[in-house]
Amino acid sequence: MNLTELTVHELKEKLNNKEITSQDIVKAYVDRINEKEPEVKAFITTLCDEALEQAKKIDEEGDYSSFKGIPIGIKDNINITGVKTTCASRMLENFVSPYDATVIEKLKDEGIINLGKLNMDEFAMGGSTEYSYFKKTSNPWDLNRVPGGSSGGSAAAVAAGMAPWALGSDTGGSIRQPSSFCGVVGMKPTYGLISRYGLVAFASSLDQIGPITKDVRDNAMLLNIIAGHDEKDTTSENIEKKDYVKALKNDVKGLKIGVPKEFYGEGINPEVKKALETAIAKYKELGAEVEEFSMDVAKYALATYYIIACAEASSNLGRFDGIRYGYRTKEFSNLKDIYKNSRSEGFGAEVKRRIILGTYVLSSGYYDAYYKKAQQVRTLVKNEFSKAFEKYDVIVTPTAPTVAFNIGEKSNNPLEMYLADICTVPINIAGVPAISVPCGVDSNGMPIGMQIIGKHFAEETILNAAYTYEQNTNFKENKPTFKK
């Protein structure tokens, strides 16, 4: 039995039955990381020794309640006390976090063990993890392809069995798109369901932490752990605590599914479209009611997203000045030089591009034409989702227009890279939840993902829809091949 192939609920059952120990699990993962890291390159920091030590302690105590003894991987923009948070940037190469993010506190309260920090695009800006300052992560299904991004390390680690589950963050698709590319399950919860305290901010009105897992049940379990109001994040909503595992009913009879035709048009790869059509037919067979509809404002969503996200990023990243933390230039004679040279040397090309774009759309003379206009279009996008959800329980689209592309294919063309987010960004603009679940492979054996979108705080509905699909199909049985 290979423990790294099991889901967390399977591991948990074996732990509870005393068939295995926490040390068995953590050792299996440490071995797997040592074996696969040279080709997958998913981790920026590994905490293998610390993890083994913690597992030993838990086994000695013999208490496996909550999630004691289960390991996890964390995207490297989420703070853990005493561990580096690099954001895959030269700017934070040596930054050691003085505190835990709220989601980390919650994981620690459950007795969950950290295996390490996972690679990403620098400051979560990108869709391929190629913009990491440290390394390019490979897709476990084909090592010449990208794992997607920006949570590419998290998705690749889960797909490769180097972590049983992981946390990512999603500003415009950064959990869902890599989950789709790597054949795993990833959710961006409703904005405000999860505290962002301790997540390094990219675009504060869009960022949300979420779970990346091997299957839908694990996804619901991890969401149970991390969801909840936090006084340290005033945008986290104070809503009643739910048990998302209880929502998994394996039944979609009467579920009203809306299929927006704009998400199946130009730019969508025919094999992706075919897989989605087959998945939708499956839902009909399972008793769901499917209807096609039009979402007219979808065409404005990507531009709106890049205006708003870059504007917020240009403001958020103003704090990196080489004074209190982060990279400081060697070349300076006055304070202004420290700011300018530290930022110019510490940030990578894509981050600088987005700061410049963001500063441009906020600058006097262009504010009305871009930023204000985008904020108004954001209202239109939100309204259109609200209108759609008066009729439908969920909306189903592809997660990404294509399967994982080759490393290097888009890294020199920013606009083309942005187009990979076309199906996911509208969801962040509206603030609603969405989950990506595997729904097939293309002719090269690369995974395809289906995105299921729900109303505000209707995570239960999208989890059940994803679960029912997963239970009635067998895509979960496809395993990455580490093709060279």
Q: Looking only at residues 195 through 214 of this chain, which bind another protein when binding is defined by CB under 8 A?
A: 205-206
DSSP lists the bridge partners of residue 301 as none
314 is annotated as an active-site residue: no
> Interface with another protein includes 105 (CB under 8 A)?
no
Q: Which 3 state secondary structure label does DSSP give 420?
A: coil
> Interface with another protein includes 367 (CB under 8 A)?
no
* Closer residue to another protein in complex, CB, 57/373: 373
d(CA 465, CA 435): 10
Q: Which of 269, 273, 325, 367 binds another protein (CB under 8 A)?
A: 325
d(CA 309, CA 348): 17
The phi-psi region of residue 361 (left if phi > 0; otherwise alpha if psi is between -120 and 50; otherwise beta) is: alpha
> Interface with another protein includes 341 (CB under 8 A)?
yes
> Interface with another protein includes 229 (CB under 8 A)?
no
Helix (H) or strand (E) holding 452: strand 447-454
Q: Torsion angle, CA of 281/282/283/289, rounded to 10 degrees?
A: 40
Binders in 384-443 for another protein, by CB under 8 A:
414-415, 418, 428-431
Helix (H) or strand (E) holding 118: strand 113-118
> Interface with another protein includes 369 (CB under 8 A)?
yes
> Interface with another protein includes 344 (CB under 8 A)?
yes
Q: DSSP per residue over 239-272, as a string? A: -----GGGG--S--TT-EEEEEGGGGSTT--HHH
Q: How many residues bind another protein (CB under 8 A)?
A: 72
Instruction: Name the burial class of residue 302, with classes exposed (0-12), middle (13-18) and buried (19+) by CB atoms within 10 angstroms of its CB.
Output: buried
443 is annotated as an active-site residue: no
What is the CB neighbour count within 10 angstroms for residue 250?
A: 12
Q: ∠10-184-152 over CA atoms, to 5°?
A: 125
> Interface with another protein includes 171 (CB under 8 A)?
no
Among the residue ranges 7-15, 27-35, 119-127, 301-309, the one whose residues contact another protein (CB under 8 A): 301-309
> Interface with another protein includes 333 (CB under 8 A)?
yes
* Closer residue to another protein in complex, CB, 338/441: 338
Binding mask 259-298 for another protein (x = CB under 8 A): --------------------------------------x-
Distances (CA, A) of 423 to 14, 396, 458, 459, 476: 39, 10, 19, 19, 23
* Closer residue to another protein in complex, CB, 97/114: 97
Out of 174, 180, 314, 436, pick the active-site residue.
174
Longest dimension (CA), the chain: 71
Binders in 173-192 for another protein, by CB under 8 A:
191-192
Among the residue ranges 269-277, 321-329, 438-446, 447-455, the one whose residues contact another protein (CB under 8 A): 321-329
Per the structure block, which two tokens stand in for 426?
């509208």
Q: Which of 135, 273, 328, 483 binds another protein (CB under 8 A)?
A: 328
Distance of CA 363 to the CA centre of its chain: 31
> Interface with another protein includes 136 (CB under 8 A)?
no
d(CA 237, CA 246): 21
Q: Which 3 state secondary structure label does DSSP give 212?
A: strand
Q: How far is the CB of 435 from another protein (least distance, A)?
A: 17
* Closer residue to another protein in complex, CB, 108/256: 108
DSSP lists the bridge partners of residue 395 as 258, 453
315 is annotated as an active-site residue: no
Q: How far is the CB of 414 from another protein (least distance, A)?
A: 5
Q: Which of 129, 304, 424, 451 binds another protein (CB under 8 A)?
A: 304
> Interface with another protein includes 356 (CB under 8 A)?
yes
Among the residue ranges 30-38, 216-224, 265-273, 331-339, the one whose residues contact another protein (CB under 8 A): 331-339
Out of 12, 36, 75, 410, pick the active-site residue.
75
Q: How far is the CB of 58 from another protein (least distance, A)?
A: 26
* Closer residue to another protein in complex, CB, 389/418: 418
Among the residue ranges 31-39, 67-75, 126-134, 333-341, the one whose residues contact another protein (CB under 8 A): 333-341
Per the structure block, which two tokens stand in for 378?
């954001």
Q: Which active-site residues does the annotation give? A: 75, 150, 174
